[in-house]
């Protein structure tokens, strides 16, 4: 019921995912409106010396702050650094590589031999708009190098900027955050796949068909075996007679109901 209509569902929002997306929006406002009263109150109480992304819940936090930290978990999955001079973006832990938004890049462990967390500035020529091929080749495998070098760099010395990766204008939206959370669940295997005979273009044709909405729902129920036919009821251990209640001839299957029942054929 909560899957997208294009994936064989009904498109209802799942409360848990939608709630986390709304909480992530508050975190986005704290990041982008640091002078607002909301941001100043939370900064003064919970992270006076640090940043919103690096702070923890601390001891005995308020219910509101715990909720914002919960929303931050989703926010961090969609945030990405728009690289400028590379002085703020971490090379390994800042989602600076779009291809690896959900999976960490494959790097040479010798990078961390001397400790610390290297910055993107170490593998670019600041103000020239070019990546350092030599350093990238030493630190990353070829596929990761190709993904990194595909990221455009500015020719001016500008600061790094946090953007939202899942919208065209790079500005946070609750809708995109919700779908990101659903995609994460899909990767974890928590969403049942659509019927094997139906792909995304087929579902799009069903929901865009020029028929009344009630009939679209009936078609959706047929394709998902969600109509209470005799066959389905018996499979679910419901005590019913194994006959079609309309013609009393054969068991009421989906095909019999819509194709072979004499009453259906007459209609």
* pLDDT attached to residue 30: 94
- pLDDT more than 70, % of the chain: 87
* 213-233: pLDDT as tens digits: 999 998 888 888 888 888 788
- What are 154-186's pLDDT values in tens digits? 887 788 888 998 898 989 999 999 989 888 887
Closest CA to 87 of 136, 122, 46, 53: 122
Longest dimension (CA), the chain: 81
pLDDT in tens, 4-33: 787 778 888 889 999 999 999 999 999 999
* pLDDT tens digit sequence for 183-217: 888 777 655 555 556 777 888 888 999 999 999 99
Contact 81, 87 (CB under 8 A): no
List CB contacts of 243: < 8 A, sequence separation 6 or more. 230, 249, 250, 251, 252
Which letter does DSSP use for residue 25 in this model?
A: H
Q: Is the model's pLDDT at 234 over the cut of 60? A: yes
Q: Mean pLDDT in the chain?
A: 82
Q: How far is CA 4 from CA 185, 209, 224, 238, in A?
A: 13, 17, 14, 30
Percent helix, percent strand, percent coil in the chain, to nearest 5? 50, 5, 45
Q: pLDDT by residue (tens digit) across 85-105? A: 878 877 776 566 655 444 566
| Helical axes 174-187 vs 63-78, angle rounded to 10° | 80
What global pTM score does this model have?
0.71
242's CB contacts (< 8 A; 6+ apart) are 230, 234, 251
């Amino acid at each position: 019921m909560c899957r997208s209509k294009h994936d064989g569902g009904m498109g209802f929002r799942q409360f848990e995912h939608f709630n986390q997306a709304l909480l992530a929006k508050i975190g986005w406002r704290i990041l982008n409106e640091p002078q607002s009263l909301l941001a100043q109150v939370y900064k003064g109480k919970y992270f006076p010396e640090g940043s919103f992304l690096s702070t923890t819940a601390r001891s005995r936090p308020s219910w509101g702050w715990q909720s914002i930290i919960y929303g931050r978990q989703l926010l961090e999955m969609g945030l990405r650094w728009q690289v400028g001079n590379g002085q703020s973006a971490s090379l390994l832990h800042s989602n600076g590589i779009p291809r690896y938004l959900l999976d960490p890049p494959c790097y040479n462990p010798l990078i961390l031999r001397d400790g610390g967390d290297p910055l993107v500035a170490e593998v670019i020529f600041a103000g020239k708009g070019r990546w350092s091929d030599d350093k990238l080749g030493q630190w990353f495998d070829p596929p990761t190098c190709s993904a990194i070098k595909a990221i455009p760099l500015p020719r001016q010395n500008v600061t790094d900027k946090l953007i939202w990766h899942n919208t065209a204008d790079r500005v946070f939206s609750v809708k995109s955050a919700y779908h990101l959370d659903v995609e994460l669940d899909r990767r974890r295997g928590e969403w049942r796949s659509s019927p094997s005979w139906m792909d995304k273009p087929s579902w799009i044709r069903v929901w865009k068909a020029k028929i009344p909405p009630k009939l679209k729902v009936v078609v959706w129920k047929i394709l998902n075996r969600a109509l209470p036919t005799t066959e389905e009821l018996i499979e679910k251990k419901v005590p019913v007679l194994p006959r079609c209640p309309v013609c009393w001839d054969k068991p009421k299957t989906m095909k019999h109901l819509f194709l072979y029942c004499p009453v259906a054929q007459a209609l």
